[in-house]
């Protein structure tokens, strides 16, 4: 057991590269997962039954099979149909599609939380359905879905370790390869764990900041405090 070796691994370029690859996979997959989830959530609210069936099939397929199965399927099976993707692309597509199935339910619950009366009022004011969704529904739904989305981001960070099965050089694969060369598993995995904890802490801090920034009570307090500050400033100028 060598803590100096742990520190050396943490500061080494290869571990840093693995951590950045893990971060890239996480952020990219989450971004496209949110887009896919938003599309599926809107399809679930569509009037056309066929679209709702397509959304239901998507949810059934990607929530009903393990994400590891989906990664391996896309990487190994699609080339048989002439679709050849890199390991990174296969991993991102699989994680995005899987994440989209869960994001769809989170986004749908947020959209459902906005009362129908507000949508009706927006339409009565001459707004289009898309305008109501963009300017009335989504801003309010964002405050509701932010905590579960933050949890999904942290979960995605840890789930990204599964892409090592298709040889994507993310953090866990780097740690395993390093440990296999000298059998110092404690040091290599400890260094990887430190990186995971640092990234998770950054995500949690970002989530907390966004929740505070979007808190309507804090926004009202800031608006009410501003005139007081201006009055005090004006009084100081007079003196």
Q: Cβ distance 29 to 96 under 8 Å?
A: yes
pLDDT digits (tens, 9 = 90+) for 41-96: 888 888 888 999 999 999 999 999 999 999 999 999 999 888 888 999 999 999 99
Q: What residues have CB less than 8 Å from 143, skipping those under 6 apart?
A: 214, 215, 216
Higher pLDDT, 214 or 167: 167
Q: Cβ distance 43 to 55 under 8 Å?
A: yes
pLDDT at res. 97: 94
Backbone angle region of 42, left / alpha / beta, with phi > 0 → left and psi within -120 to 50 → alpha: alpha
- Within 10 A of 16 (CB to CB), how many other CB atoms are there? 15
Q: Say how far apart CA 196 and CA 161 lie, in whole Å.
A: 10
| Residue linked to tokens 């890239």 | 24
Q: Say how far apart CA 230 and CA 39 lie, in whole Å.
A: 45
Backbone angle region of 38, left / alpha / beta, with phi > 0 → left and psi within -120 to 50 → alpha: alpha
pLDDT digits (tens, 9 = 90+) for 83-141: 888 999 999 999 999 999 999 988 888 878 777 787 788 888 888 877 877 777 877 77
Residue 213's pLDDT band (cuts 50, 70, 90): confident
Instruction: Give the residue from 57, 24, 21 showing the smallest Cα distance to 168.
Output: 21
């Amino acid at each position: 057991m060598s803590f100096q070796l742990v520190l050396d691994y943490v500061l080494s370029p290869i571990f840093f590269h693995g951590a950045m690859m893990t971060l890239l996979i996480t952020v990219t997959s989450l971004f496209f997962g949110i887009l896919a989830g938003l599309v599926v959530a809107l399809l679930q609210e569509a009037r056309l039954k066929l679209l709702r069936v397509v959304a239901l099939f998507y949810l059934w397929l990607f929530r009903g099979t393990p994400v590891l199965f989906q990664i391996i399927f896309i990487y190994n099976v699609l080339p048989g149909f002439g679709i050849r993707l890199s390991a990174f692309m296969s991993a991102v597509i699989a994680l995005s599609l899987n994440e989209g199935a869960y994001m769809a339910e989170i986004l749908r619950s947020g959209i459902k939380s906005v009362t129908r009366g507000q949508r009706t009022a927006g339409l009565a004011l001459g707004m289009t359905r898309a305008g109501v969704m963009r300017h009335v529904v989504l801003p309010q739904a964002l405050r509701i879905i932010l905590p579960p989305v933050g949890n999904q981001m942290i979960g995605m960070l840890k789930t990204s370790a599964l892409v090592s099965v298709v040889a994507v050089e993310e953090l866990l694969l780097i740690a395993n390869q390093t440990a296999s060369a000298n059998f110092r598993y404690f040091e290599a995995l400890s260094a990887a764990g430190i990186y995971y904890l640092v990234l998770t802490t950054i995500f949690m801090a970002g989530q907390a900041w966004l929740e505070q920034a979007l808190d309507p009570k804090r926004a009202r307090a800031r608006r009410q405090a501003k005139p007081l500050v201006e009055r005090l400033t004006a009084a100081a100028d007079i003196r």
